[in-house]
Amino acid sequence: MAEPRHITIVGAGLAGALLATLLAQRGWSVDVYEKRGDPRVQGYAGGRSINLALAERGRHALRMAGGDDEVMAHAVMMRGRMVHFLDGRTDLQRYGKDDSEVIWSVHRGELNLSLLDIAEKAGARLHFHRGLASVDFGHHNAVFRDDRDGSLHDVAFGSLVGADGAGSALRAAMMRERDLGERTEFLGHSYKELEIPPGTDGGFSIEANALHIWPRGRYMCIALPNDEQTFTVTLFLPNEGDPSFATVTNGAQARALFERDFADAVPLIPDLERDFEQNPTGLLATLYLDTWHIDDRAVLLGDAAHAMVPFHGQGMNCAFEDCVALADQLERHADRAAAFAAFQQDRLPNARAIQQMALENYLEMRDRVDDDDYLLQRALERE
């Protein structure tokens, strides 16, 4: 049934665009369907700078697709964590022995634009305003909805790849066909993004080459640099208790929290009230599945298969690794079902391990990086 070397990808986000590139470069015929419009034409929704930490695992995948140089041209090096203590002191805790062991801050929107460009250059066909609405697995037919006029479009497929993120429509359709063993565990903490604009001289207003952390026990703030000299600040708070998103509900309450607990950040965020009130509050959860594929007809990867909390900065990096692994398995096995099974066998245990590390790192970041014993131990390790 499956047309040889043709694949249909749902979602042209980070994983979808990268997988499309890797497969098209290997001579596959690739169609990608994306719910939203082309961000290269209409710009990014909201227009805010949101950044991600790119690590070596992700860079390796970008190199394989020939996209590393373009992405790195806009990346900002982060040498370590800059811990901001309650009394205003700061301490840079390096990630490695020198600048060969660092991570990079990349702009999510720019990264997606670069990946769409390289996917198209590699020969993938990108279809925008096509949100997966339903799948008839028996007849190998998928229906996509155009969000502009509600029109429905039938697409015959051999195999579908779900790169449509944590709320995956393909996963929901697969669940109607087969029990994938889906479980979602909410963290009980959420997040809000705020912005540090450039300083009065137009440059970064705090150390550029660091991931800043304000650890405060049950909660914390972090800030990652953007190449336009700004920082994206993320405030993580519990959903209940005090303080929490239940007690800090408006700009004035957010300012009071910052003045008490993040005092050195207050002068850096001039639009704190506006950002707090206008930007959405994001939920945090871990998604577990026991099965990522239905024979040769559908497979999931990236957040659609294993969304995780962001505290290890590895969700995208892990999604990129998935793309390399799936492209490799598709080359190795003529039988798609065997390729998807081998992909799952390879990647599912890794994804589980990274999900667990991400949960553990929340405790470390918010609770331990300003602990005296911990600092002493890190200092001894560095000697």
Which listed residue (196, 268, 294, 316) binds ligand FAD by CB under 6 A?
A: 316
Among 7, 8, 9, 15, binds ligand FAD (CB under 6 A): 15
**How far lies 57's CA from each of 20, 54, 233, 314, in Å?**
18, 8, 24, 9
Q: Residues of 250-277 as b/e, b for ≥16 C-beta within 10 angstroms?
A: ebeebbebbeebbebbeebbeebbebbe
Q: Which of 30, 319, 342, 358 touches ligand FAD by CB under 6 A?
A: 319
Chain residues 272-311 in contact with ligand FAD, contact rule CB under 6 A: 282, 302-304, 310
Based on the shown chain and the rule CB under 6 A, indicate whether residue 225 belongs to the binding site for ligand FAD: no
HSE (side-chain half, CA atoms, 13 Å) at 119: 27
CA dist 197 and 200 (Å) reads 9
**Residue 324 binds ligand FAD, judged by CB under 6 A:** no
Is 14 a binding residue for ligand FAD by CB under 6 A? The answer is yes
| Cβ proximity to ligand FAD, 184 vs 377, nearer residue | 184
Q: Which residue is nearest to ligand FAD (CB)?
A: 13
Shortest distance, position 42 Cβ to ligand FAD, whole Å = 13
CA distance 269 to 233: 9
Q: Kindly state whether residue 173 participates in binding ligand FAD, applying the rule CB under 6 A.
A: no
Question: Binding to ligand FAD (CB under 6 A): which residues in 110-149?
Answer: 131-132
d(CA 7, CA 161): 8
| The binder of ligand FAD chosen from 9, 22, 83, 163 (CB under 6 A) | 163
Interface with ligand FAD, residue 71, by CB under 6 A: no
- State which of residues 157, 191, 204, 288 lies at the interface with ligand FAD (CB under 6 A): 191
Per the CB < 8 A criterion, the answer to whether 12 and 116 are in contact is: yes
Interface with ligand FAD by CB under 6 A: which range of 6-14, 92-100, 286-294, 336-344?
Answer: 6-14
In 3D space, the residue among 374, 381, 376, 319 whose CA is nearest the CA of residue 351 turns out to be 319
Residues 6 or more apart whose Cβ sits within 8 Å of residue 304: 11, 162, 163, 164, 165, 166, 168, 170, 171
* 109 contributes a contact to ligand FAD by CB under 6 A: no
Q: Measured between alpha carbons, how far is 246 from 239 in angstroms, rounded to an integer?
A: 6
User: What are the C-alpha distances in Å from 315 to residues 78, 328, 332, 358, 376?
Assistant: 18, 20, 26, 9, 30
What the block records as the tokens of 41 is: 């034409």
Number of C-beta neighbours around residue 229 at 10 A: 17
Q: Which of 142, 168, 140 is nearest to 2 (CA)?
A: 140
Nearer to ligand FAD, 205 or 286 (CB): 286
Smallest distance, Å, CB 334 to ligand FAD? Answer: 27
The nearer residue to ligand FAD, 232 or 329, going by C-beta atoms, is 232
| 80 counts as binding ligand FAD under rule CB under 6 A | no
13 near ligand FAD, judged by CB under 6 A: yes
Torsion, CA 342, CA 344, CA 348, CA 349, rounded to 10: -20
Among 9, 12, 180, 210, which residue sits at the site for ligand FAD (rule: CB under 6 A)? Answer: 12
Binding mask 226-265 for ligand FAD (x = CB under 6 A): --------x-------------------------------
Closest approach of ligand FAD to the CB of residue 292, in Å: 12
- Supply 270's token pair: 């001039």
Smallest distance from the beta carbon of 165 to ligand FAD, in angstroms? Answer: 3
35 sits near ligand FAD (criterion: CB under 6 A): yes
**For residues 83 and 93, is the Cβ–Cβ distance under 8 A?**
yes
Choose between 49 and 234: whose C-beta lies nearer to ligand FAD. Answer: 234
55 vs 105: CA distance, rounded Å: 9
Contacts to ligand FAD from residues 339-378, by CB under 6 A: none
Instruction: Summarize as ranges the residues that interact with ligand FAD (CB under 6 A).
Output: 10-16, 33-36, 52-53, 131-132, 163-165, 169, 191, 234, 282, 302-304, 310, 313-317, 319
